[in-house]
Structure 1
Amino acid sequence: MSSAYDVLVLGGSGVDTIVYVPELPLPYADSYMIRPGIETRAGQTGDFVALGLRSLGLRTHHLDMIGDDPSGDLIRAFHRDHGIDFTDVLLPGGTKRAVNLVGPDGRRLSLYDDSRSQESDRLPESTVRALAAASRHAHVSITHPCAHALPLLHEAGVTVSTDLHDWDGENPYHEPFAHGADLVFVSTTALADPPAVMRRVLERGRAEAVVATAGAEGSYLLTRDAEAPLHVPAVTPPGPVVDSNGAGDAYAAGFLFGRLSGEPLERCARYGAIAGAFACTVPATVGAAVGRDALLAAASAGTEGGA
């Protein structure tokens, strides 16, 4: 029997306030005049992975905890406007939010409000089980409630991916995700020895592959039978780089599209690179992701990006 969804995305919903600053780090001053302005919009890691998957034609359902507040309304509208099925569970502390400072070169500094989550927050087991049973794959954000959902996903028999973001390879908080996923994404930003950390994830967990993203340097792919990570070059963005917000999420979506289409892992990484490059050309205040036809055309022609 075919599944209702290709991917179930768990966690990672929130609202960001985007502030474009003249430089990063931002020198102290009493005040700055900001252009093109300050804007609050829905979209954090889980939202953008879901958007990327939906734009690539994958049947996607997003499950997360958000507040009964104006920020939560923005998230519900985001999913409705982009045609993404969304199940929201009440988060008593209110919707998660952050402030993103974006420099002229597109680099980002994120300030996360860590006061919204509580130890007792949980996704309902019955809801997780029902959606997992209707899905081919689950992509899990590293938010607290999702760690408790991992065993339920394993019981359902779906494959699991996760993005550890800027993990340092040591923080124990990330380990349930690193060791409980079949496919692990991680940024090289805070890794002193990326190959060693990638190998350790493979040895201690269930992952068949670990992907370390390195921005303009491309990405690195390590599988269980490989002696060393394979370098996959970055691609040239199809337009000016204006914002790196969501580039990693877009990469993950592109990679998962390839994986669920049965493509070899190296080609999946190529898809990820194309999707991530496109994301860098989109302002954080705009919700847009590369489409299936553009991605496949760029990959097939060997050209970079694609609109």
Structure 2
Amino acid sequence: MPHTFDLLVVGDANPDVVLGPLDAPLAFGQHEQLVPGGALTLGGSAAIMACGAARLGLRVAFAGRVGDDDAGRYVRDTLTARGVDTRGLRTDPELPTPLTVVLTRDGAESDRAIVTAPGTLRATTPADVPAGLPAAARHVHFASYFLLPHLAAGLPGLMRTARAHGATTSLDTNDDPAGHWDPPGLAAVLPHTDYLLPNAAEARKLGGAEDLVTAAAALAGRGPVTVVKDGAEGALCHDGHTVTRAPAFPVRPVDTVGAGDSFDAGFVAGLLAGLPLPEALRLAAVCGALSTRAPGGTTAQPTWDEALAQVTRDLTPAPSHNPARERKNSA
């Protein structure tokens, strides 16, 4: 039976209020500080990744949980408007939709403070993923492992189901607010994860080493191909034997919120289009960089043709098709 979707994304979705840049330390005591800009935009690592993948032409479904409130309706409407199937997005009748405020600071484009009220995140469970959905996608991506403890506990089972139906899997843990970084459950998840997608700081914490290659090697040794986003240094990939690197794509960033999630979308889209690993890594770096051209995580995400145009000189051969029309579906 053909897969209904190219990609299923499972995880967090919420509105982001992005403010900044601050030109002084954040002040309490009811002192009002003014900043040049602000934006209300779709947030949540999983939601931003889903939008980026849909923008690249993939057939994308989303599963998670929001509240029965204006914020939840905003999330659902925005995902739908960007081409993401939201039939797997559950509405919680009691808990509120998560909310995040992102504060950027002057002179530090890649640095920001993030404050989140978790709302439905801690109540999200594997039961929020419709039973047939992991089997209906060519690839299943999970995000924000540490924000979704009940869902995280069920990830091995969800990943096994996806893989049993021919799908590949990926995980972007994102930050651990508790600072623990090595919960017992993660060891059970990694053997079922085809691709782990941390940023450099997360990779060092998860891999237990300051040297990035050493940390990536340690993580790859636990099962997944480990793909590390390293900002201005580009990206690297460790498959347990070989290190592959991609340079950073030059761009003048306006807002780096969601750049890592757009990187994830580009990487998965590249893999599903049949690109070899080095080319998928390069495409991912381009997608992450191009997403920083406007405020918010989704506004400037590139199309497939736009991203491919930036990397064609490095792709041999370079596919000219849209991955939404790629049909490598298994029964």
Regarding TM over 0.5, the answer is yes
Matched, 1:198 2:216: yes
Quote the offset at 1:115 in angstroms. Answer: 5.2
2:36 match: 35
Structure 2 residue runs of 5 or longer lacking an equivalent are 205-209, 316-331
Contact 1:221 1:231 in 2 (8 A): yes
1:146 counterpart letter in structure 2 = L
1:124 match: 127
* Larger displacement relative to structure 2 (128-137 or 140-149): 140-149
1:252 match: 264
Quote the offset at 1:295 in angstroms. Answer: 1.2
SS across alignment from 2:22: coil
Matched, 1:161 2:170: yes
When residues 117 and 58 of structure 1 are mapped into structure 2, their CA distance, relative to the original with a 3 A threshold, is: closer
When residues 16 and 211 of structure 1 are mapped into structure 2, their CA distance, relative to the original with a 3 A threshold, is: same
1:171 counterpart letter in structure 2 = D
When residues 285 and 261 of structure 1 are mapped into structure 2, their CA distance, relative to the original with a 3 A threshold, is: closer
1:153 counterpart letter in structure 2 = M
State how many pairs are aligned: 294
Structure-1 separation of matches of 2:32 and 2:227:
41
Structure-1 separation of matches of 2:149 and 2:24:
30
Contact 2:290 2:300 in 1 (8 A): no
Structure 1 residue runs of 5 or longer lacking an equivalent are none
Contact 1:234 1:273 in 2 (8 A): yes
1:180 match: 192
Quote the offset at 1:152 in angstroms. Answer: 2.6
2:131 counterpart letter in structure 1 = R
Contact 1:278 1:289 in 2 (8 A): yes
Partner deviation per Cα, 1:145-184 (whole Å, 9 max, x = no partner): 4321441331232211011224679432654544431100
1:218 match: 234
Within-5 A mapping of 1:83-122: 83-86=83-86, 87-91=88-92, 92-104=94-106, 105-107=108-110, 108-114=112-118, 116-118=120-122, 121-122=124-125
Structure-2 separation of matches of 1:117 and 1:7:
21
Contact 1:9 1:62 in 2 (8 A): yes
Q: TM-score, normalised on structure 1?
A: 0.87
SS across alignment from 2:58: coil
Q: CA RMSD in A?
A: 2.4
Partner deviation per Cα, 1:262-301 (whole Å, 9 max, x = no partner): 1111111100110011011121176331001111111113
Structure-1 separation of matches of 2:180 and 2:221:
14
Structure-1 separation of matches of 2:169 and 2:150:
16
Q: TM-score, normalised on structure 2?
A: 0.81
1:144 counterpart letter in structure 2 = P
